[in-house]
Structure 1
Amino acid sequence: MVRNYVRKSKRATSYTKEDLQRAMEEVRSGRITAYKASQRFKIPMMTLNYRLRGIRGVKSSSQGRSTAIPIQEERELAEGLKTMEKWGWSLSRGEVLKIVGDYVKRNKLKTPFKPGLPGEDWFLGFSKRYGLSIKKPQSVEYARKKSLDPFIINKYFELLKNILDNLGLRDKPHLIWNLDESGFCMDPSKTKVVGKRGTAASRTTAGAGRENITVLMAGNAAGHKAPPLIIFKVKNIWNEWVAPDGQGFPGTTYAATANGWMESDIFLKYFEKSFLKEIGDARPVLLIYDDHTSHVDERLIECALQNNVTILKLPPHSSHLLQPLDLSVFRSLKSRWDTEVIEWQRHHQGQRIPKNHFSKLIGKVWMETNPDIIISGFRKGGIFPYNSEVISKEHFDPLAMKRWEKHQKDNNNRNDIHVNDQDQAGPSVDQPNQINRVINENASEGSTTTFEELLLEKVKQHENNNLKKKEQRLQAVWKL
């Protein structure tokens, strides 16, 4: 069977429903004959005669034969699949075909499906009709998915707006900073190469493992770059690992940890000895970063207060949407980093990059980073210029977004509206029940079993016995 059929005849597309209706009115009124109406409105003579004699109904809104599943039920299934995708619970093609087969079996429908399950051709047609496709899903932590709540995000932007206004930083991008750390791989694999078509390409590396070195970087909304902090996975720093003067980024600092990750003490030292020195004497300064545990310390907060630096933490698990360095800088930086490391390895085959050379390379790519890229990150994050609408609606849970819009509408209508604690915290209904209500809006009423019920079976949550036991123990303690 031809899966990508191209219609050759234009008979069904040469006229519309309105043309057919007007032609019938003209003929029935006696103003023109059926033949003249056929010529004027480009309607086949046989088709017009059938409509005039009542043998056939009105012109169909679709071409070809009717769908195996009624259009309303198909639409319900498509909307349900789109809703589940937004929640991160997308179904595979096999699961969709099985759901359709169960639907046909439970409702005892007569379809051309053999043996009771739709095939590849039905799925391709269904996907084309409703704009669906097969795609590889991106892994997203549950905590990150849950944090994309309009109540939480908008509360952050309200706080950011108040801070910018109170500190008078709306027109001072050089006093708005962001810092973040990222790992730089010693055996890069992102850069593509040129080679013969149809054959696999290889790249010689220094070892089988993928060693990463953590680097902390900072930049402001004016595009200025601060010296980086390089964290090696060692016990002590040797002088030989420091980039020679004039070959690294000026002012680069170094640290050593057992696991090569950031720690609170190191972050505090960097803030005191490097960051405060770099930002100069102009105050006040706004510093924005994520809520990683190594970035939160009472000593750091006290030091920031003493130096007139206001710290604003991003909402948990929102860096991919709000943090300037994540939004635009690191991707460009690591692309150039890959190029530099590959070039070095080509001339030093089988050798590991010495730590002092790592310092030189990382300093080089950081110095060559275009300031406009850093400025772009602050713009994309809605920080400078301030823009609380940078995150589009499709990133949020649709039901939470509806509650937020209703909340905003109520606030506009009543200035003294009382907002309870539950609204402030955002949605509290479990996801399966929310999906139930979204899908139910488009549910068909004519079937014994609906696609809504079949889809909800796929997301039904199993009882957590361990959690239930903990709750029982807590209840017993409270009774005592």
Structure 2
Amino acid sequence: MEKEKAIQAAILVCNLVEPPFKPNYTEIARNHSTDDFTINRTTLSKRHRMKTTSHQEYISEVSRALTNTQEEELVRCIKRYSARNIHPTTKMVQNFAEEICGFELSKNWVGRFLDRHMDLRTGYLRNIENARSKAEFVPSFILFYELLVYALETYNITMENIYNWDEKGFMMGISHSTKRVMSKEAYTSGRNRQASQDGSREFITLLACICADGTYIPPALIYTGNGHDLLDTWIRDLQDEDIAHFGSSENGWSSHEFRMTWLRDIFNRYTKEKASRSRRLLIVDGHSSHVNMTFLNWAHNERIIILVLPPHSTHRLQPLDVVMFLPLSQFYSQELQKLMAEGLGFVTPTKRMFFTLFKRAWNKAFTEKNINSAFLKTGIWPLNTRLVVDVISHRPPTPRQYERGELKTPKTSKAIRRFQREFRLEPTNAKRDKLFKANEELSAQVSILTSKARGLEDALKQKGEKKRGRPLNLIGEESTGSAQLFSPGRIRKAQEFQALQDAEKEKERDAIATRKVTAIQKKKDIEREKEDKRIQRQIERDAREERKQNEAIQKVAKKLELAEDRARKKEAKRESINARKRKKEELYTLLQSPKKARTSYQIKARKEVVEVEEDDAEIPVIKTERGRQIQLPRRFKK
């Protein structure tokens, strides 16, 4: 290792020599040699000119299947998966490596890979529901702790008034797998590869509640029974010093009535005197029986504050789930296995024995130390709002700090183009090595992303192929109603028949679609024809309106013309009447003048006036200045 470091240092010195000059390999090798090892001049020359590689790089390329750069990229890929709470299996890691190198690896490759990278490890993880994994949302956890702090500070709640309540189910004859001791001969023979247990799946529900001061409320057990009454044999082993409560339901499950009864008759009974006039905080999950108006109103009237946990977060925030229920199950399994061992398999657990086994497990699990640890690990008491939040928060990795002047491996297309321009202007071995390293990293990324994309495509394809299943009895056979076993031949025949039916249905769907298209086209043609007729009718209507308007205009013009003609006639008649009046006035003037002054012209004019007057229907009356009527001579009247 020391010799390899010295060779690397010598290669860096060789890189400092600018072309066209060549490094003095002999002198450089002599300067970097020590008493423990000697660097050969030929070795340094070949390593500098990249004719040979180090032993570690040779092992990496030949024995390890991946180079150091490719393995580093694979490690980063595994860490990205872990940050998303998707921890890859050893088979997935091997598939990624095979995608990078392009050939099949041995079954021991992953183990050697993990030995080379101490920042990775394997382990068995407890499976949780996908909904719980997705529910680890930091803002919802922060909101829960904010509500907790608000309740504690507003109502001055201390630890002796903080409670957590939850339910747990027991299958009476089922125990956990545990490590056993047996003879080597019995194990190798294969006779004893399984441990016997009763296997009874009769369900019993436990209602448990603990306090932050290290105490607990006596448990409540709900047995499976036909009615709500208990049988005397179930509680025959109950002692006077035992404090517990019992109930019965048809399936052994809890219900709204049981939870309300527990709150009213058990929780309030054992906590009211200790709380005095202080408020009590009860932390529960979001089950519908805990979040209903009857439950909340009764709790409010009794000065009980209900704090509901975020959905699917009990594995992180509920003290009973985090610490208490696991040891309780383990201790119950131990008691069950002890019963089976002491009875040599002839004694099976019954409801009468359950309470005895459960009581021992309860006393071992629900200790003051475990209860305090449960509230401590969830950050509820002592109050630590960042304890759980820091665990589920995904902190981004700290980027590597490069020294001034140190070359960075280009990762993006822009960085690679810039790095290539710098290399063309000033080509050095260090820049060349960085380009090679970038090529290896990006090729490894492409291989891993290709594998991930292929897997995602297959998963989405399977998800998209959701189709409602149909019975295989599609060939018209009459079902007998009894158990049936389908042979591959019958299945293939049914599938062929199903394919024919699907083809006929598809053909029918196509015909229906064609008819629909034809009907739609016909409807469009009818609508188009209606539209054309409507437009034609509108055109004719507009023409009629135009004719009517023209006729009205002509009538108006004609009326105007007639009115103008009548006006002209009236004007002419008025002029004629005015002319006659003027002549009459002249005649009257003449008649009133003295007789001697009349001339022959005036006499002629008088005759004309008389002629005109004769034409008139009415002869005007002429009077003197004194008002006497003048009688015209007869000759003037002719």
Matched residue of 2:387: which SS? coil
- Determine the structure 1 residue equivalent to 2:183: 196
Paired positions, count: 400
Identity %: 22
Pick aligned residue for 1:363 from 359, 366, 370: 359
User: Residues 347-395 of structure 1: CA distance to partner in whole angstroms, max 9, x if unpaired?
Assistant: 4453343434322332343244321110100000100001122226564
Pick aligned residue for 1:50 from 17, 20, 44: 44
Q: 2 CA distance for matches of 1:95 and 1:362?
A: 42
- Determine the structure 2 residue equivalent to 1:294: 289
- Determine the structure 1 residue equivalent to 2:149: 161
- Determine the structure 1 residue equivalent to 2:264: 272
Q: 1:58 to 1:21 in 2, by over 3 A?
A: farther
User: Residues 98-145 of structure 1: CA distance to partner in whole angstroms, max 9, x if unpaired?
Assistant: 44444556xxxxxxxxxx333346544444444445655543322111
CA-CA distance at 1:38 after TM superposition = 1.8
Q: 2 CA distance for matches of 1:163 and 1:359?
A: 37
User: Residues 431-452 of structure 1: CA distance to partner in whole angstroms, max 9, x if unpaired?
Assistant: xxxxxxxxxxx99546894422
TM-score when scaled to structure 1? 0.70
Pick aligned residue for 2:381 from 369, 379, 384: 384
Contact 1:248 1:360 in 2 (8 A): no
Structure number with higher helix proportion: 2
Q: 2 CA distance for matches of 1:211 and 1:265?
A: 21
TM-score when scaled to structure 2? 0.54
Contact 1:178 1:289 in 2 (8 A): yes
Contact 2:237 2:355 in 1 (8 A): no
CA-CA distance at 1:47 after TM superposition = 6.1
Contact 2:172 2:200 in 1 (8 A): no
Q: 2 CA distance for matches of 1:24 and 1:453?
A: 37
Pick aligned residue for 2:234 from 235, 238, 241: 241
Q: 1 CA distance for matches of 2:440 and 2:307?
A: 45
Contact 1:182 1:214 in 2 (8 A): yes
Q: 1:157 to 1:50 in 2, by over 3 A?
A: same
What pairs up with 1:31-70 in 2 under 5 angstroms? Answer: 35=30, 37-39=32-34, 42-46=36-40, 50=44, 54-55=48-49, 64-67=58-61, 68-70=65-67
- Determine the structure 1 residue equivalent to 2:607: none
Deviates more, 1:68-77 or 1:317-326: 68-77
- Determine the structure 1 residue equivalent to 2:200: 209
**Does structure 1 residue 456 correspond to structure 2 residue 453?**
yes
Q: 2 CA distance for matches of 1:297 and 1:372?
A: 34
Q: 1:181 to 1:232 in 2, by over 3 A?
A: same
Deviates more, 1:270-279 or 1:311-320: 311-320
What pairs up with 1:309-388 in 2 under 5 angstroms? Answer: 309-348=304-343, 349-368=345-364, 369-388=366-385
Contact 1:227 1:249 in 2 (8 A): no
- Determine the structure 1 residue equivalent to 2:140: 152
Contact 1:167 1:284 in 2 (8 A): yes
Q: 2 CA distance for matches of 1:319 and 1:357?
A: 31
Amino acid at match of 1:46: N
Q: Which has the higher contact order (CA 8 A, sep 6+)?
A: 1
User: Residues 224-255 of structure 1: CA distance to partner in whole angstroms, max 9, x if unpaired?
Assistant: 111111011112322442356635631x1112
User: Residues 172-210 of structure 1: CA distance to partner in whole angstroms, max 9, x if unpaired?
Assistant: 2111011112123433244444321352366554x4434
Q: 1:124 to 1:47 in 2, by over 3 A?
A: farther
Structure 1 residue runs of 5 or longer lacking an equivalent are 1-9, 106-115, 403-441, 469-480
Contact 1:264 1:294 in 2 (8 A): yes
Structure 2 residue runs of 5 or longer lacking an equivalent are 17-22, 397-438, 468-638
Contact 2:57 2:67 in 1 (8 A): no
Q: 1:125 to 1:33 in 2, by over 3 A?
A: closer
Matched residue of 2:226: which SS? coil
How big is the alpha-carbon RMSD for the aligned residues of Structure 1 and Structure 2? 4.0
Deviates more, 1:60-69 or 1:324-333: 60-69
Contact 1:80 1:455 in 2 (8 A): no
**Does structure 1 residue 184 correspond to structure 2 residue 177?**
no
Q: 2 CA distance for matches of 1:385 and 1:350?
A: 49
Matched residue of 2:386: which SS? coil
CA-CA distance at 1:50 after TM superposition = 2.0
Q: 1:386 to 1:13 in 2, by over 3 A?
A: farther
What pairs up with 1:102-181 in 2 under 5 angstroms? Answer: 102-103=99-100, 116-120=103-107, 122-130=109-117, 131-132=119-120, 138-169=126-157, 172-181=158-167
What pairs up with 1:91-106 in 2 under 5 angstroms? Answer: 91-103=88-100
Q: 2 CA distance for matches of 1:72 and 1:33?
A: 28
Pick aligned residue for 1:218 from 200, 209, 212: 209
Q: 2 CA distance for matches of 1:443 and 1:195?
A: 52
CA-CA distance at 1:11 after TM superposition = 5.9
Contact 1:214 1:232 in 2 (8 A): yes
Matched residue of 2:460: which SS? coil
Q: 1 CA distance for matches of 2:448 and 2:281?
A: 51
Q: 1:393 to 1:15 in 2, by over 3 A?
A: farther
> Computing the radius of gyration over CA atoms, which structure comes out larger, 1 or 2?
2
Contact 2:136 2:313 in 1 (8 A): yes
Q: 1:102 to 1:344 in 2, by over 3 A?
A: closer
Matched residue of 1:144: which SS? helix
Contact 2:281 2:305 in 1 (8 A): yes
Q: 1 CA distance for matches of 2:289 and 2:319?
A: 19
Amino acid at match of 1:361: L
User: Residues 325-356 of structure 1: CA distance to partner in whole angstroms, max 9, x if unpaired?
Assistant: 12222222223222333333444453343434
**Does structure 1 residue 257 correspond to structure 2 residue 261?**
no
Q: 2 CA distance for matches of 1:276 and 1:87?
A: 43
Q: 1:323 to 1:125 in 2, by over 3 A?
A: same
Amino acid at match of 1:144: R
Contact 1:177 1:221 in 2 (8 A): yes
